[in-house]
Structure 1
Amino acid sequence: MKYSGDMKIIFTDKSIKPFLVLLVLVLLSAANVSSEQSNAKMVMVQAVMCESIETFQPVNPAVVFSISQGEVFCFSKFDPVFEKTYIFHHWYKKDKLIFTMKLTLSPPKWSSFSRIQIRDEDKGPWRVEIRDVNDTLLQTLRFSMAD
């Protein structure tokens, strides 16, 4: 290498060319991996209705719940999560939307839950639709409330 008066670097060694080609290939490969990760989808690995949550785990998953219990939980677990995002738990009684819960997911993996308090008039069929930020349906959990 020679240094010219205006501080430009001039390469005189012909062996530097393969090094520069390799450097460009490495940089392009790193950019491709980063692009693949940003396009990667989070993966839901578990979704259940349950009686409660303890230490971030569902307790007594079921499809029929007693009104006397007082509440029911929808638990969802994602692994991996590549970037902070949101999911939604849409709670339906029969075919009527009762409420929607927006839940945050953060990398690298995340569990979340929503719950509903149940009363005597809540008997019957229910479902929770779990949707992503683009309103894509990830899973539907069906369950019933009984005596």
Structure 2
Amino acid sequence: MKKALLVFFAVLLVANLSYAQTKVSRIMMTSGIENKEPVDNVSAVNGEMQDIYCFTEIQTDEYPTEITHIWIYQKDIEAEVKLFVGSPKWRTFSSKTITPEKAGEWKVEIYAQSGQLIDSVDFRVNE
């Protein structure tokens, strides 16, 4: 019985170690990117036409891989952007041009290549 339990726990440990994990270590909405870093951290922007960026720093033990940014405006998907991840710690971003008629609540959801939701960030576009 002890031997069977040891084998079971060994298999469980190996299965757990072989499970690749991708997570977000930093996420923010920003008005710009300079030197691969966000220039600020915004939670709301004015309703003028402008670009806004979703900056994401990823940590993963499975690379190369990809993540997906899903841009959502009032529960409707506005864009789906696949982004390459090439090392265990990787910075990347996507952007969206916001127009005055898109005032309201926004969200960007981040998905691992496996399809698992790994983080999200909300922001608002004011009128």
Scaled by the length of structure 2, the TM-score of the pair is 0.80
Q: Which one of the candidate residues 32, 52, 74 is aligned to 1:52?
A: 32
CA contact (8 A) 1:81 1:110 kept: no
Higher helix share: 1
Equivalent positions of 1:1-147 (< 5 A) are 36=17, 39-68=19-48, 70-147=50-127
Q: Could you list the runs of 5+ residues in structure 1 that have no partner in the other structure?
A: 1-31
**Structure 1 moving runs of 4+ over 2 Å:** 79-82
Please give the alpha-carbon distance, in whole angstroms, between the structure 2 residues aligned to 1:119 and 1:42.
33
- The structure with more radius of gyration: 1
Separation of aligned partners in 1, 2:68 and 2:25: 16
- Residue identity matched to 1:113: F
- Give the length in aligned residue pairs: 114
Per-residue deviation, residues 91-138 of structure 1 (Å, max 9, x unmatched): 010000011000000113211100001111011100000011111111
TM-score by length of 1: 0.70
Quick one: higher RCO (CA 8 Å, sep 6+), 1 or 2? 2
Please say if residues 67 and 145 of structure 1, whose CA atoms lie closer than 8 Å, have aligned partners that are also in contact: yes
Question: What is the rounded CA distance, in whole Å, between the counterparts of 2:35 and 2:61 in structure 1?
Answer: 20
